[in-house]
Chains A and B, each alone.
Chain A
Amino acid sequence: MIQVEDLTKRYGSFLAVDKINFHAEKGEIVGFLGPNGAGKTTTMRILTGFMPPSEGRATVAGFDVFNESLEVRKRVGYLPESVPLYTDMTVYEYLTFMGELRKVADREERIEETMDAVKITDRADTFISHLSKGYRQRVGLAQALLHHPEVLILDEPTIGLDPAQVVEVRNLIKDVGKDRTVMLSTHILTEAQNICNRVLIINKGQIVAEDSPARLQARLAGADRVRVKVSGDGTGIHGSLEGLPGVTRVNKVSDGEFEIETKPGQDVRPEVARRIVNGGWGLLELRYVGMSLEDIFLQLTRDEVEVAQ
């Protein structure tokens, strides 16, 4: 549904997107994950026909985003990051206007349906300028969903929402994603983990990793981790555990709490438990931590982090 080949975008001498390749199929929710300025928005703007690529090519639903831009735009629903809306209109007027531009069939019915789906029906006659950030976000989403687009491109769709709204919007996206193609950008890792079938990690304009959240986790898990908690401050436990086969490092988190890094694939838990009990420390907790997507993300985009620090 979305096919991107060697896509490159330069702003003057700045390389925003550097020869990226990916594809997304129908029924897939693809997450675009990366730090700010990584090229997420630029890529999305190219896919929506807002700006042309400098090099390379992208097709949406079989149409070239540059040469057949209008055909692409008909098939895409887009929520830009800043959620631009006409604040001088009411919600209903605005959706009517967008529906007319999009030539939506059975417009009134469709608007009611969409307002229902994003739960803004009670604000239909409110001026958009009077809406809270959460409601505006949903109006933006309604606008993107209105014409039943084959492809939905959402730039940071849950930013600025309260936790309950975030859950609602995520469920909505999952629901929509069943029979369409959704591409969303986020820098919230749990979001990518929760709703995406596939995650693309992008940094400095390049895709540095691509896989399902679970496989990405497994593949990149250079280290597994186990957390233990003992009664007392655990003096001497450090040395005792560090000598265990398979253990690469022991970090003290706080008094009586330690994190043990192990070589991948080795389960050191039984031996750790034995040592602690035999050593006379009271074992309160023993927990497998694994490696979070967050760690993977940081690992892959470390340069960025180091610069930021």
Chain B
Amino acid sequence: MSNLWVIAKREFAHYFVSILAYAAAFMIFLIVGILFFINNWGAAQQGSPPDTRSMFGPLAFLMLFAIPALTMRLLSEEQKTGTLELMLTAPLRDWELVAGKWLGAYAFMLVVLIVSLGFPLTLHMLTQPAGIEQGPLWASYLGLALMVGAMLAVGLMASAVTENQVVALLISFAVLIAFWLIGSPSSLLGGWMGNTLDYLDISNHFYNNFYRGVINTVDIVYYVSLMIVPLYIATQFVSSRRWR
């Protein structure tokens, strides 16, 4: 088995014995569930068609809170307890350690997303024979999965910077919020600066396209870059531990 998988497997398994992971999942499903019910019940009263967007909106937003909490310990704890020394003297490359951790966390979040399928599925069954629109549903899931991957990479990067988990949490929270808001002044600025900020915004790529059922290569490239760059930086931080 490749080192990457060994590390990923351990991290993935860790989430299932972690109370924090359950708490984060609980928060996501409770809030999303309430909003999903209120919105669709209201829509049913008014006779408007059922809409899965009432789920994806809050689900995407809640990731801002859930992901820093789920990634904060990934590398911080290893630095604090000294197990990083064990990893760095084991025959595995630094990037395998970092990417493995990310992959494990990603696998857990994908499980969360799969469980969330229960909401649209329920709605789909309740609204037979018409059912719900399939296009935006799957596009939104794809967009969300990509965005979550990028956010996890940012969280992991923050965790590589410090051995203090709370500091890691605050750093990743700050960076993610900044990426979430950065596109807001784009309409005021206009021109190439506006476009650049617009492109950097992590939420725009989701809400403007995937959320509406549009799949663009540009958006996919954006999210994949936002996975690779932080993972690269995290690896550099881990490697720099050797020099200190």
In the complex, the 9 A-B pairs of residues with the closest C-beta atoms, listed nearest first: A84-B82, A84-B83, A48-B89, A73-B91, A74-B91, A100-B6, A82-B82, A51-B242, A78-B89
The digit string for B85-120, where 1 denotes a CB below 8 A from any CB of A, is 110111111000000000000000000000000000
Q: How many A-B pairs fall under 8 Å by CB? A: 57
Q: What residues on B are CB-neighbors of A89 within 8 Å?
A: 10
Q: What residues on A are CB-neighbors of B81 within 8 Å?
A: 84, 87
Q: Which residue of chain A lies nearest to B6 when distances are taken between CB atoms in the complex?
A: A100
A70 within 8 A of B: yes
User: Contacts A52-B243, A80-B82 known; A97 to B10 CB distance under 8 Å?
Assistant: yes
B14 within 8 A of A: yes
B34 within 8 A of A: no
Q: What residues on A are CB-neighbors of B83 within 8 Å?
A: 84-86
Cβ-neighbour of A84 out of B6, B85, B91, B243 (below 8 A): B85
A133 within 8 A of B: no
User: Contacts A50-B242, A52-B242, A52-B243 known; A101 to B14 CB distance under 8 Å?
Assistant: no
Q: What residues on A are CB-neighbors of B244 within 8 Å?
A: 11
Contact yes or no, A50 B91, CB < 8 A: no
The interface centre, meaning the residue of B3, B6, B89, B244 with most chain A CB atoms within 10 A of its CB, is B89
B1 within 8 A of A: yes
The digit string for A44-77, where 1 denotes a CB below 8 A from any CB of B, is 0100111110000000000000000010011010
Interface set of A (CB-CB < 8 Å, partner B): 11, 45, 48-52, 70, 73-74, 76, 78, 80, 82, 84-89, 97-98, 100-103, 143
B17 within 8 A of A: yes
CB distance from B10 to the nearest CB of A (A): 6
Contact yes or no, A88 B91, CB < 8 A: no
Docked Cα-Cα span, A50 to B242, in Å, equals: 6
Q: Which residue of chain A lies nearest to B7 when distances are taken between CB atoms in the complex?
A: A101
Q: Which residue of chain B lies nearest to A73 when distances are taken between CB atoms in the complex?
A: B91
Which secondary structure dominates where chain B touches chain A?
helix
CB distance from B79 to the nearest CB of A (A): 10
From residue 1 to 17 of chain B, which have CB atoms closer than 8 A to chain A? 1, 3, 6-7, 10, 14, 17
Q: Which residue of chain B lies nearest to A82 when distances are taken between CB atoms in the complex?
A: B82
User: Contacts A85-B83, A88-B14, A101-B3 known; A70 to B93 CB distance under 8 Å?
Assistant: yes
Contact yes or no, A101 B91, CB < 8 A: yes
Q: What residues on B are CB-neighbors of A50 within 8 Å?
A: 85, 88-89, 242
From residue 195 to 221 of chain B, which have CB atoms closer than 8 A to chain A? none
Docked Cα-Cα span, A84 to B82, in Å, equals: 5
Q: What residues on A are CB-neighbors of B88 within 8 Å?
A: 49-50
Q: Which residue of chain B lies nearest to A84 when distances are taken between CB atoms in the complex?
A: B82
User: Contacts A51-B243, A84-B81, A86-B83 known; A73 to B89 CB distance under 8 Å?
Assistant: yes
User: Contacts A80-B82, A82-B82, A84-B82 known; A101 to B90 CB distance under 8 Å?
Assistant: yes
CB distance from B44 to the nearest CB of A (A): 45
Q: Which residue of chain A lies nearest to B86 when distances are taken between CB atoms in the complex?
A: A84
Contact yes or no, B91 A80, CB < 8 A: no
CB distance from A116 to the nearest CB of B (A): 22
CB distance from A278 to the nearest CB of B (A): 65
Q: What residues on A are CB-neighbors of B243 within 8 Å?
A: 51-52
Q: Which residue of chain A lies nearest to B81 when distances are taken between CB atoms in the complex?
A: A84
Contact yes or no, B90 A98, CB < 8 A: yes
A-B contacts, 14 listed (Cβ < 8 Å): A11-B244, A45-B85, A50-B89, A51-B243, A80-B82, A82-B85, A84-B86, A88-B14, A88-B17, A88-B18, A97-B6, A100-B1, A101-B91, A102-B90
CB distance from B54 to the nearest CB of A (A): 37
Q: What residues on B are CB-neighbors of A86 within 8 Å?
A: 10, 83
Contact yes or no, B86 A80, CB < 8 A: yes
